Amino acid sequence: MADTHQFDVDKLFGVKDFVAVVTGGGTGIGLMAAQALSANGAKVYITGRRKEVLENAAKTHQPAKGSGQIIPIGPCDVTSKDDLEKLVTDLSKREKYIDLLICNAGISGPKAEPKDSEAEDLKARLWNNEDPSDWHDNFNTNVTAVYFTTVAFLPLLQAGIRPKGPLEPYSPSVITISSMSGIMRHAQGHFSYNTAKGATVHLTKLMSAEFQKAQIRVNSIAPGYFPSEMTAKSSDEKQKSYVPPEKIQDKGHVPLMRAGREEEMGMTVLYLAKNQYVNGEIIAVDGGVLNVVAGR
């Protein structure tokens, strides 16, 4: 039975001495995750395709106190098996294990709103604004790369199992970043993206079931509208993005009438990182959108 002191927030959500890897960690949700983990004591390696972005994010957002760190590593294109192998090899020279892998790297793809009711017009809009190559790129980054990234890190993750010690008990875990868009029936003009994120959701469940024999948990965060380069189309000199409330309010289906706060994403990352009894879950952090827009 737990004594009251064991419910201290540091014991519940502290990640001191954790080693984490975040793909797409230089901006957006990946950077939010890196900040949340490092602020609570973790050593966080961030990777991505743009070396200068990674270095600037690490330099700008180091924790002001404590033992946590944000460390750039790479660059790495997660759609390349060679890059993933090199990333794992390089990291293995620095660390004997990792406790957490966050598969965050992703792309949005083209937008084609299916507004028309006449079939000819509907076909023209969708046919002319999308291409099979767009679908391939979307699946390659948002689904296939999530699978191969996770597989590449399985040995380092399993090496992080610690049945005894200051962090006991701990089984390593993977957090995939899917999307509320992969759970809803509204296409949002992004058929390829929403379909790919739906596949990310199912891939998470498959990996959770299959990798539990290796004592590795796999869960997913399905974000709603959070400030990132994907939603805001840009970031500032600190690699941060801003989405004005008016842009969210104009969508008409977000009950909180604002984008998600970065701290709200951080809370979810820490919860999934530490709660050993959660496996195979998809947690929507969407401000209530899926209460308004039909889900699966």
Name the residues annotated as catalytic: 178, 193, 197
Q: What's the token pair of residue 224? A: 């709603």
Q: What's the token pair of residue 283? A: 């947690």
DSSP secondary structure of 269-288: HHHHHH-TT--S-EEEESTT
Q: Residue 73 and residue 25: Cα distance in Å, rounded?
A: 10
Q: Which of helix, strand or coil describes residue 173?
A: strand
Q: Residue 228 and residue 91: Cα distance in Å, rounded?
A: 27
Q: Which of helix, strand or coil describes residue 102?
A: strand
Q: What is the DSSP letter of 142?
A: I
Residue 252 neighbours by CB distance under 10 Å: 8
